[in-house]
Amino acid sequence: MQITILCENETGKGGARHCCSQWGFSAFIHTKTANILFDTGHTDVYKRNASNLGIDLNRSDFVVLSHHHWDHTGGLSQHDFQDKKKLILHPQVLEKIKAKHAQIFKRDFDIIATKIPLEFAPDIHYLGEIPRKNSFEKGTHKGDSMQDDSAIAIKSEKGLIVITGCSHAGICNICEYAMEVTGQKLYAVLGGFHLTEKDQDAVNATVDYFKAQKVERLYPMHCVDFPTMVRFYNEFGIAKSGTGDVISL
């Protein structure tokens, strides 16, 4: 399984010669059973980077949106798909994005809107609404309950792989629900963790959580500030991934 970062705040070593970056997130997920475009950043940067990296996005079997924010959904309105792709999202996404973008999505895609978990390809799950169970993650963003914030959970021989967009629901809440839905223990967690030094209680509790779960592979990026990335480096020895990097699991 390979995950290619098509858009992230910074360019990684893998994209140094071929890619540009901007605030946002997008990834192309290649598995034995499906190809998935997960989020699309803000503009057409994800498309240009994919082309420069030799990835044909028309090979995508599914498009999945993690939540409605502009830096994850805006680029999809500029897609070049030659046929109708299946677009998986929470129904609130279509209510919260710009009306002109919602019209494009409804016109150009076969939309699968769900609040409940969906196994949309063998061993690959869209999680739907994430229960907020712990006390240290707010599970909201600027007064928005963010019920549309979700993630992908992929079962593997080594354990559960969780891929997130921004984790407004709380990265630990997401991981707990992913384990409940799939019945597997965590192996890898990748994407935006939405952690900053301003909320040290959440950072400390999240570090403790991942230590307790003995997660083998951690890839925090996008909405994780520099001091928190340093903390993850010191605690887990992880290196920051960015646009153009390929993560093999």
Q: What pLDDT, in 10s, does the model give residues 33-79? A: 999 999 999 999 999 999 999 999 999 999 999 999 999 999 999 99
Residue with tokens 């960015």: 242
Q: What is the pLDDT of residue 73?
A: 98
| C-beta contacts of 92-98 below 8 A and 24+ residues apart | 92/68, 92/147, 92/148, 93/65, 93/67, 93/68, 93/148, 96/68, 96/148, 97/68, 97/70, 97/73
Residues in the chain: 249
- Comparing CA positions, the residue from 210, 184, 228, 245 lying closest to residue 16 is 245
**What is the rounded CA–CA span in Å between residue 185 and residue 52?**
36
Q: pLDDT, tens digit, for every residue of 116-139?
A: 999 999 999 999 999 999 999 999
In CATH terms, the superfamily for domain 2-248 is Ribonuclease Z/Hydroxyacylglutathione hydrolase-like (3.60.15.10)
What's 214's DSSP letter?
T
**What is the rounded CA–CA span in Å between residue 144 and residue 153?**
24
How many other C-beta atoms can be found within 10 angstroms of the C-beta atom of residue 97?
A: 24
Helix (H) or strand (E) holding 227: helix 226-236
Q: Model pTM?
A: 0.97
- Which residues of the chain register pLDDT less than 50? none
